[in-house]
């Protein structure tokens, strides 16, 4: 007789453990490792990771931002310090582990974080990402760095030391020293490591700068008028700008003061028919659309919806249309415009405080290719400037090869155009051209030229 089978007892169902939410340092490691792995822009990856993980405490989002931008701005100084205590080359270390080392070193040298917390919490963040095997190595390196009072500097001349101390490539430091002198170059690299102000431009189709500033102050927003832009307002620690007064109503748009000055410098005649070539992200196009009819074009079709969305928010949709076109190969049937604005692709060296990763990606070899593209765009766009019309050329760079040199070359080959500075006063002009530099003034670096077609 076969004995009855034993009933199988089922183990009680245990719900799977939920992964603990990542700490601010864990999120920062994710951001920086993704930037390193993909060569994406830091601000884009940061926004993506914060949307993906959605930290509950808004202070965590602020800390992630500070860690990522700070460690990126100071990367060369951090890396030099790490090489003095590490027993392996940094390029051999995997992305997340190297990100943890940089973030830990940044806290030790540049933040008011207790040393034991900078080390311990960075190691814990690495554990939370499943990298326990690397924690001993990271802990040992950061403990060695914690014994130092400041990041070490290499031997060498002033340019070599300044390059490491302020985390700019040595070729760029030497280039700026030649172009602007040692003192100005030093102030430029230091300014690039300061977090930029949040500046907004009053939408003058709906309000004035003074009215908007008074309203912001009335609702408790800390703000003051921009130093040079007549339409600019500087916000002090605003937090999430989309939650501020006037955003939903379309009373203002975020735009750096130097970028605003391009629109002021252009001094467009009211009611003009305007073509904005290379229009993304759309700040200058929307500025022009406050008083004019604008066609905004960009070679990247996926960037146009953002421009159109901003135009709708600002109440400018009836004055702004968009098309996906390559500004270097504009079709003949596009017609003529009273004003053609060319915000040309460039090295971006004037925006290193906003895009700190760019300083490590640019090389001196880039200028030749960029200059060629800029000339092609200028040549294509000038054909669509009506007789008596304006051609406004702008670049967010400090380099003369992309600015004044480019325009002088254009004028020599186009005798029907002449440089015509605006009647507006109080702008930072050099030989009639708009030029702003990073430094104590708080500007991004921009160049703009205003050219009149005589016939």
Q: 24-146 — its CATH code?
A: 1.10.940.10
Domain spans of the chain, in order of start: 24-146, 159-191, 201-254, 261-453
pLDDT at 20: 61
User: Do the beta carbons of residue 318 and residue 324 sit within 8 Å?
Assistant: no
User: Do the beta carbons of residue 395 and residue 344 sit within 8 Å?
Assistant: yes
Mean pLDDT of 211-218: 98
- β pairing state of 417-419 and 429-430: unpaired
pLDDT at 16: 43
Q: 201-254 — its CATH code?
A: 3.30.70
pLDDT band for 58, please (50, 70, 90 cuts): confident
Residues involved in catalysis = 396
What average pLDDT is seen over the chain?
94
pLDDT digits (tens, 9 = 90+) for 303-322: 999 999 999 999 999 999 99
Q: Which CATH number fits domain 261-453: 3.40.50.150, 3.10.20.30, 3.30.1490.20, 3.40.190.100?
A: 3.40.50.150
pLDDT digits (tens, 9 = 90+) for 251-264: 999 999 999 999 99
pLDDT at 56: 80
| DSSP of 248-307 | TTT-EEE--HHHHHHHHHH-PPTT-EEEEET-TT-HHHHHHHTTSEEEEEES-GGGHHHH
pLDDT digits (tens, 9 = 90+) for 399-442: 999 999 999 999 999 999 999 999 867 999 999 999 999 999 99
pLDDT digits (tens, 9 = 90+) for 359-398: 999 999 999 999 999 999 999 999 999 999 999 999 999 9
For tokens 């001094």, the residue is 267
- Closest to 421 (Cα-Cα) out of 387, 390, 386, 449: 449
Mean pLDDT of 84-103: 97
With 80 as the cut, is the pLDDT of residue 18 above it? no
User: Do the beta carbons of residue 339 and residue 266 sit within 8 Å?
Assistant: yes
Q: Supply the DSSP symbol for 415.
A: T
pLDDT band for 19, please (50, 70, 90 cuts): low
pLDDT at 321: 98
With 80 as the cut, is the pLDDT of residue 13 above it? no
Classify residue 89 by burial, with Cβ atoms within 10 Å: 0-12, 13-18, 19+.
exposed
Which contiguous run of DSSP H or E holds residue 125?
helix 115-128
Spatial distance between the Cα atoms of 202 and 209, rounded to a whole number of angstroms: 5
pLDDT digits (tens, 9 = 90+) for 433-451: 999 999 999 999 999 999 9
pLDDT digits (tens, 9 = 90+) for 266-280: 999 999 999 999 999
Mean pLDDT of 89-97: 97
């Amino acid at each position: 007789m076969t004995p009855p089978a034993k009933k199988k007892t089922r183990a009680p169902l245990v719900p799977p453990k939920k992964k603990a939410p990542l700490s601010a340092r864990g999120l920062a490691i994710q951001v920086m490792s993704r930037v390193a792995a993909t060569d994406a822009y830091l601000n884009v990856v940061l926004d993506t990771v914060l949307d993906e993980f959605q930290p509950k405490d808004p202070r965590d989002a602020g800390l992630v931002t500070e860690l990522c931008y700070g460690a990126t701005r100071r990367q060369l100084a951090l890396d030099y310090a790490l090489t003095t205590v590490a027993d392996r080359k940094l390029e051999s270390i995997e992305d997340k582990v190297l990100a943890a080392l940089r973030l830990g070193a940044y806290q030790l040298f540049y933040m008011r974080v207790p040393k034991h917390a900078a080390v311990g919490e960075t190691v814990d963040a690495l554990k939370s990402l499943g990298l326990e095997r690397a924690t001993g190595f990271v802990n040992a390196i950061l403990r060695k760095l914690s014994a130092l009072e400041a990041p070490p500097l290499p031997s060498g001349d002033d340019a070599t030391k300044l390059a490491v101390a302020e985390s700019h490539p040595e070729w760029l430091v030497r280039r700026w020293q030649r172009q602007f002198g040692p003192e100005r170059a030093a102030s430029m690299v230091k300014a690039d490591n300061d977090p930029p102000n949040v500046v907004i431009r009053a939408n003058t189709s709906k309000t004035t700068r003074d009215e908007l500033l008074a309203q912001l102050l009335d609702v408790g927003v800390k703000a003051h008028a921009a130093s040079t832009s007549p339409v600019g307002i500087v916000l002090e620690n605003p937090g999430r700008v989309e939650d501020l007064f006037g955003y939903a109503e379309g009373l203002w748009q975020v735009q750096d003061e130097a970028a605003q000055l391009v629109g002021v410098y252009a001094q467009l005649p009211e009611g003009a028919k305007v073509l904005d070539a290379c229009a993304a992200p759309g700040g200058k196009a929307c500025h022009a659309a406050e008083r004019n009819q604008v066609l905004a074009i960009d070679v990247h079709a996926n960037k146009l919806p953002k421009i159109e969305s901003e135009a709708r928010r600002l109440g400018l949709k009836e004055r702004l249309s968009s098309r996906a076109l390559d500004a270097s190969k504009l079709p003949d049937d596009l017609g003529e415009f009273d004003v053609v604005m060319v915000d040309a692709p460039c090295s971006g060296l004037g925006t290193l405080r906003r895009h700190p990763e760019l300083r490590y990606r640019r090389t001196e070899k880039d200028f030749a290719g960029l200059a060629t593209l800029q000339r092609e765009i200028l040549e294509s766009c000038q054909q669509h400037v009506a007789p008596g019309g304006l051609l406004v050329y702008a670049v967010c760079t400090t380099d003369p090869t992309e600015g004044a040199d480019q325009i002088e070359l254009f004028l020599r080959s186009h005798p029907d155009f002449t440089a015509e500075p605006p009647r507006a006063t109080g702008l930072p002009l050099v030989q009639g051209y708009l030029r702003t530099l990073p430094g104590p003034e708080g500007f991004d670096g921009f160049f703009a030229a205003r050219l009149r077609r005589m016939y």
